[in-house]
Structure formats: structure tokens, C-alpha cells
Copies of this chain bind each other. A is one copy, B any other.
């Protein structure tokens, strides 16, 4: 593969001129530019990002940390990030952390190695202290997840209000015995969504039953199934469930279906996230939509602004109730 030297030689100019042509520096005569462009074509030349980045100490690469790419929740966010970042001349390194601290440090080192210019983190169980420490030296933003007490900028939704709307919808369609399938409340969003759930119940004079609140270990289909099993085994069964994630709701739905109850006639179900699958279940799932694509776009814009030294502010976006067959 040709380098800038050979192009310069072939075009009969200096390397500086070749560089100027590539960077659209205006101070190149048309004739010279033409000569150079021809040489570039002939040699099929592409500048080495390595050389350029070393010189400029930037890589134009963004790290995107996610726990698992198999979680469809992240698809649209990532598309938003990619579209925005590529438009602004940055490329994306998708990093699957598996919520594993070792995996995570590998990726953290990538930014300390200057192989990436910034990080967008969507990992809720990220090593908090390390992230905060890193954020004091390098550009970092959080998307969807965030820490209340750190100064890392974020983009997210109002989880409490969204949960409140979900539960209120169940109440409005006549449900009185509403259970909550929540994830581990070590996560901020889980605590917030629980608050929203309780707020709606209180507002309509419904009692919060401890038995009707399940906490799952993770957000998998199986967790949803298990939680639903537990609820159906209760003496005083609920007749509706608000699950804090569609995957949990889909697991719960599967369990309800298997038990012979009909949805929505005998049982109502509402999820959270509006993942693509939530429209493929039988029946389709009512859910809360987060503006994922937009969240991705904004977080990309945010991190790039931060990299370029601009001031950035955290943003809270609106959610939307999507009513489908399950309620």
C-alpha cells in the first residue's frame, strides 16, 4: 500500500502538498491539486489513520459500552449513535462488556491508550468509581443509565413518570390488582420505576402489596417467567402486571399463556422499552416507548461536543405509552 511519500514523488510535489490536498487546504493551485489527485488515484492511496492520529493525537473513534449486544433494547440507540457519529466523521467501536469488570477494563484502557477519543456508556452495572475517575480525565457520557451523584453528563428519560403512566393506564382499564416485576433495585432506574408504580397506586387508593412486587436478578426472559410463576402461585393473585422491561414482560406473558389464562381477557400485561419483539408476541405487548434512536443521536452529539471541548448539559427526554393487544 502506497504512502504519502510515494504519492508525492509520483506527483512531483512534496508530502506537505499531498497532505494539503487530502485535507482540503485551500492553498493548493488547481493544477497541482489535479496532479496530486491523479497520483492518488493511480496508486490507490489511502492515508494511514495511524499516522494522522498519532500526529493529531486523536483517533476519531468512539467507544460504545453495552452489557450485551443480544439485548434488543440497545439496537435503536446504537443506530442513532452510528448515524450521528459517522455523519460527524467519527467511527464507532461497539464494546460488549458482559457486565464483566475485566472486559470493561480492556475497553477502558483503549481510551487511556488514545485509541478512542470518548466513551458512551450504557452499562448500568459499570464499575462506578472507575468510570467516574476516568471521566475526570477523558470525555465520557452516559446514555439511558446514569449516576445521580456523579458529574458525568447523561441523556435519559423520566423513569418515575413513565412507570406512573404505565400503571395509570392499567388502572384506567379497570385493573385493581396490579403486580410489579422489577429488576434489581441496585439500579437507579429500578428504584425510580418502583416509585412511579407506587405513586399511581396511591393516587387511586390502591394498596401496595409487598407480595405483588418481584425483584429479578437480571432482565432475561427466564427471570420474567420465574417471577410470573411466583405471582400466579399466590393465594391472592394479581390480575395485571407492570414489568420494567419488555423481556421480563415477554417471559411473564409466556408463563401466563402456558397457565391457560387468556391475555388480555383474564390478565393484563404492560412492558417497558418497546423492543421489536414486543410486537411479535401473541398477543402483542402494550409497552412504554423510550425515544431510543433520539437518545442515541443526542448522546453521540454530546460526546463529540465534549471531545471538542464544548460545554454539555444532561438531557431528559419524553416517553410514550404504546397501547397494543395485551391490555
Contact = CB atoms under 8 A, between A and B. Distances in A.
Contacts of A86: 103, 106
A157 interface: no
Interface string A24-67: 00000000000000000000001111110110010100000000
In this complex, the member of A86, A113, A254 whose beta carbon has the largest number of chain B beta carbons within 10 angstroms is: A113
B257 A280 contact: no
Q: Is the interface of A mostly helix, strand, loop or mixed?
A: helix
Interface residues of A, number: 48
A49 B94 contact: no
Contacts of A106: 86, 91
Interface stretch (A69-77, A179-187, A237-245, A266-274): A69-77
A250 B280 contact: yes
A50 B59 contact: yes
A258 interface: yes
B59 A70 contact: no
A78 B109 CA distance: 21
A130 interface: no
A223 interface: no
A115 B50 contact: yes
A76 B257 CA distance: 28
B137 A1 contact: yes
A316 interface: no
B59 A78 contact: no
A292 to B, nearest CB: 11
A251 interface: yes
A110 B49 contact: yes
A261 interface: no
Contacts of A70: 72, 75-76, 276
A128 interface: no
A113 B54 contact: no
A293 interface: no
A82 B109 contact: no
B54 A50 contact: yes
A112 interface: yes
A277 B253 CA distance: 13
B53 A82 contact: no
A16 interface: no
A277 B275 CA distance: 12
A251 B284 CA distance: 12
A254 B276 contact: no
A147 interface: no
Contacts of A254: 280-282
B114 A48 contact: yes
Interface of A: 1, 46-51, 53-54, 57, 59, 68-70, 72, 74-76, 78-79, 82, 86, 91, 93-94, 96, 103, 106, 109-110, 112-115, 137, 221, 250-251, 253-254, 257-258, 276-277, 279-282
Given A49-B114, A50-B113, A51-B54, 14 more contacts: A1-B112, A1-B137, A48-B114, A49-B110, A50-B115, A54-B54, A70-B75, A86-B106, A91-B110, A93-B94, A251-B280, A253-B282, A254-B282, A277-B277
